[in-house]
Amino acid sequence: MSERTAVVAGGGIGGLAAALALHRRGWDVEVLERAPAFGEVGAGISLWANGVRALEALGVGRAVRDRSMPEREAGIREPGGRWLSRADTGALERRHGSVVVLHRAHLLDLLREALPERMLRTGAEVRAVRRAGERVEVEHTGGVSRADLVVGADGIGSAVRRSVWPDAPGPRYAGYTVWRAVIDPGRPLRAGGETWGRGRRVGLVSLPDGRVYMFCVADAPAGGRAPDGEPAELGRLFSGWHAPIPELLAAAPEDAFVRHDIHELPPLRTYVSGRVALLGDAAHAMTPNLGQGGNQALEDAVTLAALLDRHPAVERALAAYDRERRPRTQMIARRSRWIGEATRWSSPLAVAARNTLIRLTPASAMPRALAPVLDWRPPT
């Protein structure tokens, strides 16, 4: 059989993982990335056991483990510092495998380096996708590409989705904004876990190189920017919160924090049409509260390639992909949204009730509750 060809729109985590999964199964792939270079925001990413298994299936599990470290400190605290719950990371690891954290740029590099250079094209923005006989045609700023399969991995604002599903609902604002930074604390510091206040939240994650990935979340109008700069805004929002939050905010250079409003995609009725499949945020952009968006993109990629092997007819494989991936990713997006809503409560009574519930929940409940998300295995 002649080599099968695929165009992957978007060279983020999902697009590069899809390209690698297809390449490993003998496809000739062209990745079209609109940015002038492959890159990611300056932030960390948590990879859960399901995502790590997907990376192992992609042949980069070991490389990821070498550049990451297991998350040892997790749980939820009050702004004053008292722990409401402390995750038993050992039990979580024994039950599911560890959660590892690394810099996003490192994850992207590992995926990119596993692909032949000739498959990667930057500065190519996808504009439209259309059927061309038995194949699919992709119009982009560098010309027109044709392939047996097109994967739309071009993120939440996906041009592939808009082109193939012009009536699908667009992203909606979740009501809160996130600031992220990787900060050098200037001294050894063990940081981990989240702190939930009234409608505000901070998360800290230690990175393997001694730096700390910090994210801060607060309700805000969409598109808002602090008139006197984001560090000043963060100082106001999180003034008086427990150590080392003020220390890290003070150590962050003026431009360290990137700010993003959180949007999510309303559930799509399908992820596939003919020989076009959506993957990652293009298919199911979810709120980040469960830290699963990237993990799900990795699962999508591995599943898609495996199903294309199992069903030689592309349309049949894509129908199977839709059946397998849509219910799961939409269930995880729902769970992530619920968690986000609980962290936004600001009435003192509701927050007190929430915190009591967290305090009374045994640590052993967490591995059980996460089982439907983390128990995923790559298709054989």
Ligand X SMILES: Cc1cc2nc3c(=O)[nH]c(=O)nc-3n(C[C@H](O)[C@H](O)[C@H](O)COP(=O)(O)OP(=O)(O)OC[C@H]3O[C@@H](n4cnc5c(N)ncnc54)[C@H](O)[C@@H]3O)c2cc1C
CB 85 within 8 A of CB 361: yes
Closest distance to ligand X from the beta carbon of 1 (Å): 29
Q: Identify how many contiguous H helices and E strands the chain contains and give both numbers.
A: 13, 19
Total site size for ligand X, rule CB under 6 A? 33
203 binds ligand X (CB under 6 A): no
Residue closer to ligand X, measured from CB, 113 or 352: 113
Closest distance to ligand X from the beta carbon of 284 (Å): 9
Peptide bond into 208 cis (omega under 30): no
CB 212 within 8 A of CB 248: yes
Closest distance to ligand X from the beta carbon of 189 (Å): 20
333 binds ligand X (CB under 6 A): no
Q: Which residue among 5, 6, 8, 14 contacts ligand X (CB under 6 A)?
A: 14
Segment near ligand X (CB under 6 A); pick from 33-41, 55-63, 321-329, 357-365: 33-41
Closest distance to ligand X from the beta carbon of 75 (Å): 16
Residue closer to ligand X, measured from CB, 15 or 193: 15
Segment near ligand X (CB under 6 A); pick from 30-38, 219-227, 316-324, 356-364: 30-38
Closest distance to ligand X from the beta carbon of 256 (Å): 15
Run of H or E including 159: helix 159-164
Q: Which residue among 8, 20, 21, 32 contacts ligand X (CB under 6 A)?
A: 32
126 binds ligand X (CB under 6 A): yes
45 binds ligand X (CB under 6 A): yes
Closest distance to ligand X from the beta carbon of 122 (Å): 9
Residues 6+ apart with CB under 8 A from 112: 11, 16, 38, 120
Closest distance to ligand X from the beta carbon of 146 (Å): 16
CA distance linking residue 306 with residue 300, whole number of Å: 10
Q: Which residue among 9, 102, 256, 307 contacts ligand X (CB under 6 A)?
A: 9
Say how many C-beta atoms besides its own lie within 10 A of residue 164's C-beta.
Answer: 22
Structure tokens at 165: 């599903």
Binding mask 281-320 for ligand X (x = CB under 6 A): xx-----x--xxxxx-x-----------------------
Q: Which residue among 25, 62, 94, 260 contacts ligand X (CB under 6 A)?
A: 260
Closest distance to ligand X from the beta carbon of 309 (Å): 22
CA 75 vs. chain centroid, Å, equals: 20
Q: What strands, in cross-sheet order, belong to the sheet with 126-132?
A: 126-132, 135-140, 143-147
Residues 6+ apart with CB under 8 A from 139: 126, 127, 128, 129, 130
CB 220 within 8 A of CB 176: yes
Residue closer to ligand X, measured from CB, 80 or 266: 266
Q: Which residue among 20, 178, 216, 249 contacts ligand X (CB under 6 A)?
A: 178
Residues 6+ apart with CB under 8 A from 295: 47, 48, 50, 51, 54
Per DSSP, 1 falls in state -
Residues 6+ apart with CB under 8 A from 102: 44, 45, 47, 64, 67, 68, 69, 207, 208
155 binds ligand X (CB under 6 A): yes
68 binds ligand X (CB under 6 A): no
SS (H, E, C) 183-194: ECCCCCCCCEEE
34 binds ligand X (CB under 6 A): yes
Residues 6+ apart with CB under 8 A from 73: 89, 190, 191, 192, 193, 206
130 binds ligand X (CB under 6 A): no
Residue closer to ligand X, measured from CB, 35 or 350: 35
Closest distance to ligand X from the beta carbon of 2 (Å): 27
The residue ranges that bind ligand X (CB under 6 A) are: 9-15, 32-35, 45-46, 125-126, 153-155, 159, 178, 180, 215, 260, 280-282, 288, 291-295, 297
